[in-house]
Amino acid sequence: MNIIIIGYMGSGKSTIGKNLSKILNYDFIDLDDYIQEKEHLTIPELFEKKGEIYFRKKEQLYLKEVLKETNLVLSLGGGTPCYGTNMDTVLATDGARSIYLKSSIPNLVQRLTPEKLTRPLIAHIQTDEDLTEFIGKHLFERSFYYNQSHHTIVTDHKSVQQITEEIIAGLF
């Protein structure tokens, strides 16, 4: 079985994915890290040097490549399910289960504020109020895709262990 972790940036996809893969003895792949390794550029560099369209095409290609593996926990980028046919690809993959890590806007703002400079999508946002508005708008646009996941786990006020246990209980 492959487990695909979906959610907005800052929702804990990589942290939960790594913990889940350890417990299940599965391989872990963060799709953004995989893309950076294959392209020999960071995600911000890819956006800057080659553009978002190039990035999204490569993201789709590498998603399909990675989904051929088995016994894998895969963490997607926050926008991955929302572009092209990526969510359809996830849902159509035999033996794959998708998990949406759903975090509230205030929780995301709290997590993302200290990380703004390392996240190109929000690096330009100055205030928490503007970040709140930005995240709210994005979540509204992306919820159609995120909500297609096989399972939804609300992450607010839960530890990594609690979330991991909840995922395992829902899958097995």
Sheet holding 72-75, edge to edge: 27-30, 72-75, 2-6, 96-102, 151-154
Q: Is 75 annotated as a binding residue?
A: no
CA nearest to 60, candidates 37, 40, 88: 88
Backbone angles phi, psi at 60, to 5 degrees: -65, -45
Interstrand relation of 72-75 and 27-30 (parallel, antiparallel or unpaired): parallel
Q: Is 136 annotated as a binding residue?
A: no
Positive or negative, the Cα torsion across 65, 154, 133, 17? negative
Q: Is 88 annotated as a binding residue?
A: no
Q: Is 104 annotated as a binding residue?
A: no
Q: Is 142 annotated as a binding residue?
A: yes
Q: Is 70 annotated as a binding residue?
A: no
CA nearest to 120, candidates 63, 48, 59: 48
Q: Is 14 annotated as a binding residue?
A: yes
Q: Is 97 annotated as a binding residue?
A: no
Q: Is 51 annotated as a binding residue?
A: no
Q: Is 116 annotated as a binding residue?
A: no
Q: Is 111 annotated as a binding residue?
A: no
Q: Residue 2 and residue 68: Cα distance in Å, rounded?
A: 9
Q: Residue 102 and residue 153: Cα distance in Å, rounded?
A: 6
Chain centre distance of CA 65: 17
- Binding-site residues for substrate sit at 32, 56, 78, 142
- Binding-site residues sit at 10-15, 32, 56, 78, 119, 142
- Binding-site residues for ATP sit at 10-15, 119
- Binding-site residues for Mg(2+) sit at 14
